[in-house]
Amino acid sequence: MDQPHSPLSSTAIPDEQFASDNYAGICPEAMSAMEAANRGSAPSYGEDPWTAKAAGLFRELFETDCEIFFAFNGTAANSLALSALCQSYHGVICAASSHVETDECGAPEFFSNGSKLLTIASENGKILPEAVRELALRRTDIHFPKPKVVTLSQSTETGCVYSADELSALSATIRELGMHLHMDGARFSNACASLRCSPAEITWKAGVDVLCFGGTKNGMAVGEAIVFFKKELAVDFEYRCKQAGQLASKMRFLAAPWIGMFESGAWLRNAAHANACAQHLLSRLRGAKGVETLFPVQANTVFLKAAPSTLQALRDRGWHFYTFIGGGARFMFSWNSSIARVDQLADDILDVTR
Ligand SMILES: *Cc1c(COP(=O)(O)O)cnc(C)c1O
């Protein structure tokens, strides 16, 4: 008799989908670091050797002395980082399409006790200096929240990356206006792999004050690191983490995977693989009629614009994807995306648009 098809049955391995990069599991390097940290016991609340070692590796990777904190997810990391940069009467400038605005359920406002997100238009998800200046100077009276922070996503929600020069130009404007620069790096590794530059070049050397570095989408089970390049901004930050329920008592399991990722180079290798899968899909679709990309493909994402009937035909063939950004179908690749499966997707897209 046929077994009922259940995702929980150990024999039923569902076909790989490219709806999001957080569909992927845990990469071996992160897993073995967790296992290593699980041998024996260790002090709690971050007083363990794994946490200290992970923080040291961040300082090495970024080639600077910085303050590191570990949180469970990106919403918490972003919200707490922003709350550290703002008073409740301040404003946070962000792209209208940004995760902090569209996907964090008001957490940045909640954790900052009311700092208002001020949205601006962006280009391929990227914030431009002129737009920041325009908004910051439009209202300087006491009745409008005082702009204090700009937050940007690297890579962007639309799969584009800011170059080091673009970041430097943006941060020069931000500094001139007396504001801080926060980077939502849920896909920071993908940006590093895409730009082939050092983490330092696209963060503190380009004027970024605080980075939220995403581990989850990079191949870890869970966890984001908050990296303060301006250490004075991190004063008392551990209290914010604790109050927000982000101080893990078994902190070593949030910290150790980073050791595995950095020591093995998996952080960059995983991201480069995910980016290469996006380029592979793009190259397979070159010349196809009836589909076009919505945004430049610079990281691990391809957004396809196609007729609703085409998107339905892909769904009918069992493909899962989101259309919440710009109405296009988003295909997003991860550390373990298989090229053979990307080829199956390409074959189906070519087939339904023939
Ligand atoms: C995934 C993501 C986050 C983090 O989301 P969580 O679900 O809170 O971990 C943050 N920013 C961007 C741009 C993301 O894509």
List, for residues 93-136, the tens digit of each pLDDT value: 999 999 999 999 999 999 999 999 999 999 999 999 999 999 99
What lies within 8 Å, CB to CB, of 66 at 6+ separation is 58, 59, 204, 227, 228, 229, 231
Q: Is the pLDDT of residue 344 over 60?
A: yes
Residue 294's identity, in one-letter code, is L
Whether 54 contacts 226, CB under 8 Å: no
157 Cβ closer than 6 Å to some ligand 1 atom: yes
List, for residues 159-184, the tens digit of each pLDDT value: 999 999 999 999 999 999 999 999 99
When pLDDT is cut at 50, 70 and 90, the band that residue 15 belongs to is: confident
pLDDT at 334: 98
Residue 211, sorted as left (phi over 0), alpha (psi -120 to 50) or beta, turns out to be beta
186 Cβ closer than 6 Å to some ligand 1 atom: yes
330 Cβ closer than 6 Å to some ligand 1 atom: no
Residue 198 corresponds to which tokens in the numbers above? 């050092």
153 Cβ closer than 6 Å to some ligand 1 atom: yes
Q: Is the pLDDT of residue 258 over 80?
A: yes
Rounded Cα gap, residues 204 and 181, in angstroms: 10
Domain ranges of the chain: 21-25+266-352, 28-264
Whether 93 contacts 122, CB under 8 Å: no
List, for residues 300-343, the tens digit of each pLDDT value: 999 999 999 999 999 999 999 999 888 899 999 999 999 999 99
Residue 91's identity, in one-letter code, is G
Topology classification of domain 21-25+266-352 = Aspartate Aminotransferase, domain 1 (3.90.1150)
List, for residues 47-70, the tens digit of each pLDDT value: 999 999 999 999 999 999 999 999
Nearest atom in ligand 1 to the alpha carbon of residue 184 is 11
Residue 89's identity, in one-letter code, is Y
pLDDT at 18: 97
Q: Alpha carbon 15 to chain centroid distance?
A: 25
C-alpha distances (whole Å) from 178 to each of 26, 54, 173, 316, 325 are 41, 32, 9, 52, 32
Other Cβ atoms within 10 Å of 69 Cβ, number? 25
List, for residues 225-253, the tens digit of each pLDDT value: 999 999 999 999 999 999 999 999 999 99
Q: Is the pLDDT of residue 8 over 60?
A: no
Q: Whose alpha carbon is nearest atom 3 of ligand 1? A: 74
pLDDT at 275: 98
pLDDT at 13: 61
73 Cβ closer than 6 Å to some ligand 1 atom: yes
Nearest atom in ligand 1 to the alpha carbon of residue 22 is 1
pLDDT at 316: 97
In the sheet that 291-293 helps form, which strands lie side by side, from edge to edge?
291-293, 301-306, 329-332
The residue whose CB lies within 8 Å of the most ligand 1 atoms, and thus the one to mutate among 160, 162, 184, 325, is 184
List, for residues 184-220, the tens digit of each pLDDT value: 999 999 999 999 999 999 999 999 999 999 999 999 9
Rounded Cα gap, residues 96 and 121, in angstroms: 6
CATH of 28-264, one of 3.40.50.10490, 3.10.50.40, 2.60.40.10, 3.40.640.10: 3.40.640.10
Residue 84 corresponds to which tokens in the numbers above? 């550290």
Whether 115 contacts 145, CB under 8 Å: yes
Whether 65 contacts 231, CB under 8 Å: yes
Rounded Cα gap, residues 33 and 260, in angstroms: 5
pLDDT at 11: 56
Percentage of the chain exceeding pLDDT 90 = 93
If 0-12 CB within 10 Å is exposed, 13-18 middle and 19+ buried, where does residue 238 land?
A: middle
When pLDDT is cut at 50, 70 and 90, the band that residue 287 belongs to is: confident
pLDDT at 354: 87
Residue 43 corresponds to which tokens in the numbers above? 């002090």
Q: Give the Å distance between the CA of 74 and the centre of ligand 1.
A: 5
User: How many Cα atoms are found within 13 Å in the side-chain-facing hemisphere of 87?
Assistant: 3
When pLDDT is cut at 50, 70 and 90, the band that residue 3 belongs to is: very low
pLDDT at 2: 44
Q: Which secondary structure element, helix H or strand E, spans residue 107, and what is its range?
A: helix 107-111
First-to-last alpha carbon distance for the chain, in angstroms, is: 39
What average pLDDT does the segment 283-302 reach? 95
Nearest atom in ligand 1 to the alpha carbon of residue 78 is 10
252-264 vs 266-285: helix crossing angle, rounded to 10: 70
Fold match between domain 21-25+266-352 and domain 28-264: no
Whether 54 contacts 68, CB under 8 Å: yes
C-alpha distances (whole Å) from 202 to each of 27, 54, 144, 165, 308 are 25, 21, 32, 9, 38
The residue whose CB lies within 8 Å of the most ligand 1 atoms, and thus the one to mutate among 73, 99, 213, is 99
Nearest atom in ligand 1 to the alpha carbon of residue 77 is 8
74 Cβ closer than 6 Å to some ligand 1 atom: yes
